[in-house]
Amino acid sequence: MATRTHRTRARIPRAAWVLILPFVIMFAAFFIAPIVYAVVQSLFATESSGLGFGAPETKFAFFDNYVRAFSDPTFSQSLLRLLLFSAILVPLMVVTALGLALLLDSASARFPRVFRIISFAPYGVPGVVATLLWGFLYVPATSPILQVLSNWGIDVNPLSSSAVLFAIANISLWGFAGYNMVILSSALDAIPSELYEAARVDGASAWATIWHIKLPLVRPSVILVTVFTIIGTLQLFVEPLVLRPLTTAIGTTFTPNLAAYNQAFAQGNSNLASAMAVIVALLGFVVSFGFLRFVNRKGNRAW
Amino acid sequence: MPVSPRSRRWLAAAAVMTTAVSLAACSSDDSSSEGPVELTFQSWVPNIDQVVDAFNEAHDDVHVTLETVTAGPDGGYATMQSAVQAGNAADVAQIGYDAIPDFLINDALEDITEYVEDDADLFTEWQWQTGVFGGSVYSIPQASGPLGQFYRADVFEELGIEYPETWDEFYEAAKTVRESGAYIAAFAFNQAPWMIGLAQQGGAQWFTPDNDAWTVDINGADTLKVAEFWQKLVDEDLVKVEADMSSEWNSDIQSGKVLTWISGSWADAILRGTAPDLAGSWAVGPVPQWNAGENVSATWGGGSASAVLKGSKHPKEAAEFAVWMNSNPASVNLLTEVGAGWPAIDDISEIAALEDSEVFDFYGGQNIWDVFAESDKAVDTSWTWPPLSSTLFADLVDNVKASVDGGKPLVDAYNKTQEDMIAALEERGIAVN
């Protein structure tokens, strides 16, 4: 809302307030208020008595819901599983997106626009639909690929408990690598051509150009993509929800978000669900900002 | 278009106004003293609007408006209960038998005993009892899914298998089927109502209200007998471990890799939709018995009822609508036609939807409803759903999955579910014996 006019100072903020008021109202109603409500909800619990029939009592429970969430081994497991999933997906995503962007940016790339659109296309497929499609490909009875492999004597079950995280990571990679590639591509496009000319004059090879010019200059975009991917992985929800009926490897508490959803909508315990949601939000906050601090700390320009 | 500062201010004001209006528009109102009593009814049964229309046509003094909601377990119940808390609930709601106690522990249902106590005789006893707690009536049964066994009569004949009347015969049949390359059934690890139905049919009584506290018996002898039987089938690779109604299962049913399905009466429509090419080769029989000569049946997760939500301004009319919808023969016929399930009423002689020859053709001319009518009469009337049944469903499926996935005994899953369920009840302050 910065303004560069030189009129009297008193009028400008008022106009600015009027203009941002719709945003402030919406932001407060649909962003701040639900967060506050969730935090408040997470501090209460309902209690029944006897057979449970009759009005329950709502009481202030301090951090009981948080203690309960953390003392539930399945919830702690889901948090660990999520970190493991991040460790699998984040590097894979960044390297794939960066690799694609550099390939399409290289001087010898053929039809870069066509390939850019092709690799971006999966982003247009809604997550649920993408997961349903992959679900078909992951189940031996319906997957042509697995059937061919099986005929060759290779029995693969992508939905077994040892493989299911990779199967989900694959769906995310398929859906989002193209999107991240576009972000990195536009950063590469923004590099002034004089730098390339200077490098050519100096006799730099294609690899040297990538290493000394392209990568350092797209660094902010790579960090952006990494943070987006971290936040995205911590919110893992749709893929396990859709795949859950197909496999014994995914239960109702597979990820913290799934556990919170299950508590709120299937088990009717919105207080515990709120506590779980707050924990996931805090985790996302800590991990994203921890990563940003790590990459932006003084003197850290080597990577 | 260039925008002058003045019109900019107007635009801002207009935007603010729009917001304020749309926020204020959230609350509405009703209740004029003139005209018919207005009721709202929430349901997710497809095409149930036909039933509502029929009611409105037959009644001048009461007018019902249908609100379609998400299926209960997928968020519909959460919506209804939030509305009760907020004081703007619908008058009548579609609620599964298993979810009625959940509504009661949240004090979300009206006691309608005084309006409906004379109507009990219209309904099958076990179905009526699903709405009765502590002598008070809280809901009117609509439809259920008594269990039957759908099977490939043609393949059974080919393999020389007599219809398995008992579980021992089922086991022997499973071996014969497996030798031919197929499986007799799927072990549906995703399906809590199926597992609970099998336990109930084995004589289990998981929840009993007793001296103002619940007796929980999920890992009693009757249940473990059932668990061990299916364990044997899984261990010997006689059943296919797969989710039912999944793409994998559909394909196995179509290709004849899975030959039977123990399911509710409504499964007929699913089967006809899944395997239209197999018309004429299916048949239905009773669920195999643990003791030869007995006739014990169970249901698929109970059924569905209509309840009056707490805070309804017209509980009397709402209760009357619930009774009419679920007992008037024309209405029940419509409900059966749209696939609501097996009628909860006792006298089904007037239900034309149960005479559809197209259905019978799929089953080689068999009147499959005879089997389900028998089954409905043979359901244990004392089975009681507990509060937190959704927790039960989720825990049971999670634990059975963990057992199957980790190669551990199924019995462990039932032991763990017993522990989980007691912990969940006690955590809510509900007494457990």
Question: pLDDT digits over A36-63, tens only?
Answer: 999 999 999 988 888 888 778 888 988 9
- Please say if the pLDDT value at position B91 is more than 70: yes
Is B37-144+302-357 CATH 3.40.190.10?
yes
- Please say if the pLDDT value at position B5 is more than 50: no
Lowest-confidence region among A107-111, A202-206, B339-343: A107-111
- Residue B22: the pLDDT is 44
- Residue B96: the pLDDT is 92
User: H or E segment at B394?
Assistant: helix B389-406
- Residue B390: the pLDDT is 86
What confidence tens digit (pLDDT) does each residue in B238-250 have?
Answer: 999 999 988 889 9
CB-based contact A268 B78, cutoff 8 Å: yes
Taking CB atoms and an 8 Å cutoff, what residues of chain A touch B243? 245-247
Taking CB atoms and an 8 Å cutoff, what residues of chain B touch A47? 428-429
Q: Give me the percent of chain A exceeding a pLDDT of 70.
A: 94
Record: fold of A74-296:
MetI-like fold (1.10.3720)
Say how far apart CA B56 and CA B49 lie, in whole Å.
Answer: 10
CB-based contact B430 A21, cutoff 8 Å: no
Residue in the block written with tokens 């150009």: A209
Q: Give the ipTM of the model, two decimals please.
A: 0.79
Give the tokens for residue A191: 């590099």
- Residue B41: the pLDDT is 96
CB-based contact B9 A15, cutoff 8 Å: yes
Assign B17 a pLDDT band (cuts: 50, 70, 90).
very low
What confidence tens digit (pLDDT) does each residue in B209-262 have?
Answer: 888 899 999 999 999 999 999 999 999 999 999 999 888 899 999 999 999 999
Q: Does A109 touch chain B (CB under 8 A)?
A: no
Bridge partners of residue B147, in order along the sequence: B264
- Residue B161: the pLDDT is 95
Say how far apart CA A204 and CA A195 lie, in whole Å.
Answer: 11
Mean pLDDT across A208-227: 91
- Residue B1: the pLDDT is 40
Q: Does A265 touch chain B (CB under 8 A)?
A: yes
- Residue A9: the pLDDT is 52
SS3 of B288, please? coil
Cβ–Cβ pairs < 8 A, chains A and B: 137
Write the residue in A22, A57, A265 that is nearest to B16 by C-beta: A22
- B82 near B70, Cβ under 8 Å? no
Long-range contacts formed by A24-31: CB under 8 A, 24+ apart: A25/B16, A25/B19, A25/B23, A26/B19, A29/B23
Mean pLDDT across B297-322: 93
Q: What is the dihedral of CA B68, B72, B74, B79, to 10 degrees?
A: 70
CB-based contact A251 B398, cutoff 8 Å: yes
Domain ranges of chain A: 74-296
Lowest-confidence region among A169-178, B21-30, B127-136, B150-159: B21-30
Rounded to the nearest integer, the mean pLDDT of chain B is 89
Please tell me the distance in Å from A250's CA to the nearest CA on chain B. Answer: 8
Q: Is beta strand B299-308 parallel, antiparallel or unpaired with respect to B213-216?
A: unpaired
CB-based contact A51 B16, cutoff 8 Å: no
Assign B20 a pLDDT band (cuts: 50, 70, 90).
very low
Q: Does A300 touch chain B (CB under 8 A)?
A: no
- Residue B269: the pLDDT is 87
Sign of the Cα pseudo-torsion (A16, A22, A27, A32, in order): positive
Taking CB atoms and an 8 Å cutoff, what residues of chain B touch A18? 9, 12-13, 16
CB-based contact A25 B16, cutoff 8 Å: yes
What confidence tens digit (pLDDT) does each residue in A236-293 have?
Answer: 999 999 999 889 999 999 999 999 998 887 777 889 999 999 999 999 889 888 888 8
Q: Give me the percent of chain B exceeding a pLDDT of 70.
A: 92
Mean pLDDT across A25-30: 93
Domain ranges of chain B: 37-144+302-357, 145-300+362-427
Please tell me what DSSP assigns to residue B151: E
Are the folds of B37-144+302-357 and B145-300+362-427 the same? Answer: yes
Assign A16 a pLDDT band (cuts: 50, 70, 90).
confident
Give the tokens for residue B62: 């009461």
CATH class of the domain defined by B145-300+362-427: alpha beta
- B376 near B144, Cβ under 8 Å? yes
- Please say if the pLDDT value at position A169 is more than 60: yes
